[in-house]
């Protein structure tokens, strides 16, 4: 009986380790990849919208945390990895500003 219960506990531990990214993971990613400095505010509202404010004044508004992946791609493709200064997501567009100052609007 002990072997079965230990196997169940081990399986639960493994299942917990392979779960989807949590808010804390996304917070750390935002800190390193988007802000390149400390995150001053990272909030997720009841409807899933995310607001990020970096200590350097950069601000980001996302419809959900999955948009962080899109932001990473935008940073590489449009801002050549220099970073984003502002980002806003609407139902049809991504509006963002590279740290260089270029303000860009693209369709989803």
pLDDT tens digit sequence for 21-60: 566 677 676 666 677 778 888 888 999 888 888 888 888 8
- pLDDT for 68 equals 85
Secondary structure (3-state) at 101: coil
Residue 83, domain extent: 23-107
9, part of any domain: no
Question: Is 11 part of a structural domain of the chain?
Answer: no
Our measurement of the distance from residue 94's CA atom to the centroid of its chain's CA atoms, rounded to an integer in Å, reads: 15
- What is the sign of the dihedral through the CA atoms of 87, 88, 89 and 91? negative
The answer to whether residue 60 is domain-embedded is: yes
Instruction: Say how far apart CA 87 and CA 70 lie, in whole Å.
Output: 11
* Global pTM value: 0.64
Provide the number of structural domains found in the chain: 1
Q: Is residue 56 part of a domain?
A: yes
Q: Is residue 8 part of a domain?
A: no
Any domain includes 68: yes
pLDDT mean over 87-91:
89
Assigned domain for 78 exists: yes
């Amino acid at each position: 009986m002990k072997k079965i219960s230990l196997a169940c506990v081990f399986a639960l531990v493994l299942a917990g380790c392979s779960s989807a990214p949590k808010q804390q993971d996304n917070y750390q990613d935002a800190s390193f990849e988007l802000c390149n400095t400390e995150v001053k505010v990272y909030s997720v509202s009841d409807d899933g919208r995310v607001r990020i404010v970096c200590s350097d004044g950069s601000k980001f508004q996302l419809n959900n945390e999955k948009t962080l992946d899109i932001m990473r791609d935008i940073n590489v493709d449009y801002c050549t990895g220099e970073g984003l200064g502002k980002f806003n997501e609407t139902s049809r567009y991504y509006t963002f500003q590279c740290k260089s100052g270029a303000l860009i609007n693209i369709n989803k």
